């Protein structure tokens, strides 16, 4: 998560950090509360401060799984409740992890996974074997050109030499409306 800041007045309006103990991602929780109260975000393309990072920082007490759970909960609350269906862009590890982390209501909204990996596409579907449902859910895997928006994209940017970004751009979609990044 990038460093961000706000005025003291806004900080007082949003409320205090959740300092209930070790392992609580208080900055992330505060940020989500900031957004829920109507706060915005602006990108500043220059370094404004230095962040002190050391092996004993409290940051290390926050489990990755805790942050993941909060992120998924926020995604469901702020975005997925407004979508009737969606496609997860990435039939690999991160996409499947997102699917398994969703509430049953939102799992049912997933109409497909999409990818560029021919082996995944040839397989045809992802079967969620840990599901309690009978029969087990089988979600189709499609090529990204054959998939329908909106998309939750679980692909990290800047890892494919621009190929992923070109693929996404080729669909002429609008971020925030037709897709959002969750990586």
Give pLDDT tens digits for 16-47. Answer: 887 777 788 888 888 888 989 999 888 888 88
- Give the span between the Cα atoms of 20 and 85, in whole angstroms: 36
CA 105 to chain CA centroid, Å, is 17
- Taking a C-beta distance cutoff of 8 angstroms, is the pair 100, 130 a contact? yes
The CB-side HSE value for 157 (13 A sphere, CA atoms) comes to 7
Return the pLDDT at 174: 96
For the chain, which residues make up each domain, given as ranges?
A: 8-61, 77-181
Least confident of 42-51, 97-106, 113-122, 174-183: 42-51
Return the pLDDT at 25: 83
CATH-assigned architecture of domain 77-181: 3-Layer(aba) Sandwich (3.40)
Q: Which pTM does this prediction carry?
A: 0.84
């Amino acid at each position: 998560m990038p460093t961000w800041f706000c005025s003291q007045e806004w900080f007082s309006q949003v409320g205090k950090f959740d300092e209930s103990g070790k392992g609580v991602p208080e900055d992330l929780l505060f940020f989500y509360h900031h957004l829920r109260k109507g706060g915005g975000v602006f990108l500043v393309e220059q370094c404004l401060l230095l962040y002190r990072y050391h092996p004993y920082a409290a940051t290390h007490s926050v489990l990755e799984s805790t942050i993941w759970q909060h992120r998924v909960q926020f995604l469901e609350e702020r975005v997925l409740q407004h979508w009737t269906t969606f496609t997860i862009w990435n039939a690999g590890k991160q996409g499947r992890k997102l699917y398994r982390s969703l509430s049953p209501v939102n799992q049912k909204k997933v109409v497909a996974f999409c990818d560029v990996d021919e082996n995944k596409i040839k397989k045809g579907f992802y079967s969620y074997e840990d599901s309690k449902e009978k029969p087990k859910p089988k979600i189709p895997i499609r090529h990204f050109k054959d998939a329908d928006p909106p998309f939750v994209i679980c692909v990290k940017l800047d890892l494919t030499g621009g190929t992923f970004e070109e693929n996404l751009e080729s669909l002429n979609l609008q971020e925030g409306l037709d897709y959002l990044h969750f990586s």
